[in-house]
Amino acid sequence: MKRAFGVIGCAFCWLIAALLTLLEGIFIYLWIDRTRYIMEWGVEENPYAAEDAWVAGVLALLTVFPLLLMLAAAISSTIKLRKRGKNRDHPAPDKW
């Protein structure tokens, strides 16, 4: 039971880390895109572009902390699963 829960927890951590990486990429892309738009056209062309760039930058900054936390948890759980697998007393398949 412990092993199955460990595998599910490990997969869950990696899944959440992948989702946060996708969100981080989207926010950084939006931040760069809006900043380039402001630099090229100015705020007078679209007054909401500066607000969009600010919001995307803040969201990118806020998303990086859970991303790092989930990456650390995923790597830690993967290492624990590998150690637990090496410590089992089962014979290797080629020794049967």
Looking at residue 50, what is its pLDDT? Answer: 83
- Where in the sequence is the domain holding 39, given as residue range(s)? 2-85
Looking at residue 58, what is its pLDDT? Answer: 92
Q: Is residue 94 part of a domain?
A: no
**In this structure, are residues 10 and 78 in contact, taking their beta carbons and an 8 Å threshold?**
yes
Q: Is residue 28 part of a domain?
A: yes
pTM of the model: 0.70
**Mean pLDDT value across residues 6-28:** 87
Q: Is residue 92 part of a domain?
A: no
Residue 1 pLDDT class (50, 70, 90 cuts): very low
Residues 41-75 pLDDT 10s = 877 777 788 888 889 999 999 999 999 999 998 88
Q: Is residue 90 part of a domain?
A: no
Q: Is residue 73 part of a domain?
A: yes
Q: Is residue 56 part of a domain?
A: yes
**In this structure, are residues 10 and 81 in contact, taking their beta carbons and an 8 Å threshold?**
yes
Q: How far is CA 76 from CA 7, 8, 61, 68, 91, in A?
A: 12, 14, 24, 12, 26
